[in-house]
Amino acid sequence: MSQNFDELVRHSIAVTLENMAFMEVLPQSEETETDAEDNMSARLLILDPLQAEMVLTLPVRLLTNIIDVVHAFPEDDVVEQIRSDMLGELLNTVAGRLLNDFLPGNQAYRLGLPEVTLEQPTVCEGPSRTWEYDVEGEPLALTIVGTGFFPEDGEPA
């Protein structure tokens, strides 16, 4: 696996969380394990110029912390309303950042709309990889699926 692509993925997540929520993204440690039932996920199709799907998964607790920072501690009912919006915007921003860094300079791209779920979403079939990080003691995972990024041998294009 290309270390450069690993770094692009890490950088896209780090820049997004640092700029939006002033949170540091660290390598995952054993202490950051959590129950899958506490998680929320968002998935996003990359439509052009390559075809792939990205899934961002994180605990509701971490999502709530991010919302508290961005929206300055809103009321609990507001937090529930904006969880999906926040998670979708996070994934949308990570995807844009990654594609900006991954694609040649002038290449345009097109993204689908993020879909948010409380369960682990069903994603497209194909080669995939998952990157896991620690954000404020909570786990955050990004999975990329599809031959657009991993054409034949599982290595990034």
Partner 1 sequence: MKRIVIADDSATARMVIRRCLEIIGLGDAGMVEVPNGREALARLKEAPTDLLVTDLNMPIMDGETLLKWVKGSPKLTDVPVVVITSAGNPAKEALLSDLGAFAVLDKPISPATLLKKLEPLMQ
Question: Is residue 20 a contact point for partner 1 (CB under 8 A)?
Answer: yes
What is the C-alpha separation between 67 and 157, in angstroms, rounded?
Answer: 35
What is the C-alpha separation between 137 and 151, in angstroms, rounded?
Answer: 34
Select the span of 34-42, 101-109, 116-124, 132-140 touching partner 1 (CB under 8 A). Answer: 101-109
Select the span of 33-41, 99-107, 117-125, 139-147 touching partner 1 (CB under 8 A). Answer: 99-107
For the CB of residue 42, give the shortest distance to partner 1 in the complex, in Å.
Answer: 12
Candidate residues 106, 122, 152, 153; the one interacting with partner 1 per rule CB under 8 A: 106
For the CB of residue 40, give the shortest distance to partner 1 in the complex, in Å.
Answer: 14
Among the listed residues 140, 112, 142, the one whose alpha carbon sits nearest the alpha carbon of residue 128: 142
Select the span of 89-97, 120-128, 130-138, 145-153 touching partner 1 (CB under 8 A). Answer: 89-97
Question: Is residue 6 a contact point for partner 1 (CB under 8 A)?
Answer: no
Whether the link from the prior residue into 156 is cis, omega within 30° of 0, is no
What is the C-alpha separation between 150 and 138, in angstroms, rounded?
Answer: 28
Within 10 A of 117 (CB to CB), how many other CB atoms are there? 16
Q: What angle do CA 121, 125, 126 make, to 5 degrees?
A: 125
The half-sphere exposure of 36 on its side-chain side, counting CA atoms within 13 A, is: 4
Question: Is residue 80 a contact point for partner 1 (CB under 8 A)?
Answer: no
2 versus 100: smaller Cβ distance to partner 1: 100
Contacts with partner 1, residue ranges (CB under 8 A): 15-16, 19-20, 67, 70-72, 82, 85-86, 88-90, 92-93, 95-97, 99-100, 103, 105-111
